[in-house]
Amino acid sequence: MKKLIAGNWKMNGSLASNEALLKAVQAGLGAAVCEVAVCVPAVYLAQVQGLLAAHALLGSGSQVSLGAQDVSAQEQGAFTGEMSAAMLREFGVRYALVGHSERRQYCGETDAGVAAKAKAALAQGITPIVCVGESLTEREAGLTADVVKRQLAAVVHECGHCITEIVVAYEPVWAIGTGKTATPEQAQEVHALLRAQLHAATTHERRVKILYGGSMNAANAAQLLAQPDIDGGLIGGASLKAQDFLTIIAAAH
Ligand code: 13P
């Protein structure tokens, strides 16, 4: 299975800086052996779609897939500020993050709500990247397994036989943006747990990519990506620096 390296730009960027970043990434990408995606702020989806399409016309090097950072669970209607999966699809969106810990924390997203978003994305052929992860307090209380299993269980329950179509991202909250990465062993332990949970739902659990996210960078990516159950990375800060992002991509083989 090809690994997936996805950048999560979060609420960063501008028309000018997006273009510069993307061009630098594309220029350095060559024939990447892994899949690459960027999850951009919604207002920039059209811009990035255009830049990716222009590059694809050149026909050289690997292509970067487009991702959104959220998607509505609703199909359409009176939901001010929301964006449906069908709308994202019109902009060539291939992936949508759902349940990122920042949205769980700041926007009150629940396990059931996140599962509904994953289902809505799948219904439009968009691959949801389901984010799970424990806080520092939960880890210290020995609740890591309980928390991530509960978060994933909601999605398994909602998505049923489509579960092999999702991507999971394990992002320990205490490692996000803190420079404190989980050790490869800590990450692998949780990834193996998640894999076992998927196995209970499908015999094709190996088809589901489980990404690690949380201060993954150019220096630590290779070791993390060498773990048997780490199938890629979800990169925040380091995805905003072309060279760092490229180094991580090169480590994913
Ligand atoms: P950092 O790589 O900045 O820690 O962010 C990780 C993340 O939240 C990706 O979704």
Average pLDDT on 15-36 reads 93
Claim: this prediction has a pTM higher than 0.95: yes
Q: Which of the following is catalytic: 55, 100, 102, 158?
A: 100
Q: Report whether pLDDT(194) > 90.
A: yes
What does the pLDDT average to over 229-240? Answer: 98
- What is the tens place of the pLDDT at every residue in 96-138? 999 999 999 999 999 999 999 999 999 999 999 999 999 999 9
Residue-level pLDDT at 155:
97
CA distance 243 to 168: 25
Which CATH architecture best describes the domain 4-251? Answer: Alpha-Beta Barrel (3.20)
- For ligand 1, atom 9, name the residue with the nearest CA: 236
How many A from CA of 176 to the centre of ligand 1? 5
Cα–ligand 1 centroid distance for 142 (angstroms): 23
Domain boundaries, the chain: 4-251
Cβ atoms of 38 and 67 closer than 8 Å: yes
Is 171 known to be catalytic? yes
Reference 51, options 83, 91, 111; nearest CA is 91
Q: What pLDDT, in 10s, does the model give residues 32-48?
A: 789 999 999 999 999 99
Kindly tell me the burial class for residue 41, based on how many C-beta atoms sit within 10 Å of its own C-beta (0-12, 13-18, 19 or more): middle
State in Å: Cα 251 to ligand 1 middle. Answer: 17
Strands 210-213 and 93-98: unpaired
- Measured from the Cα of 176, ligand 1's closest atom is 4
pLDDT at res. 70: 98
What is the number of the ligand 1 atom nearest to the C-alpha of 238?
A: 2
The yes-or-no verdict on residue 69 having pLDDT over 90 is yes
Neighbours of 137 (CB within 10 A): 10
Res 167 pLDDT > 90 = yes
Residues contacting residue 162 through CB under 8 Å, at least 6 positions apart: 119, 122
Residue 30 has pLDDT above 90, yes or no: no
- Between the alpha carbon of residue 213 and those of residues 108, 160, 187, 190, 239, the distances in Å are 21, 25, 9, 12, 11
C-alpha span between 48 and 56 (Å, rounded): 12
Is 158 an annotated catalytic residue?
no
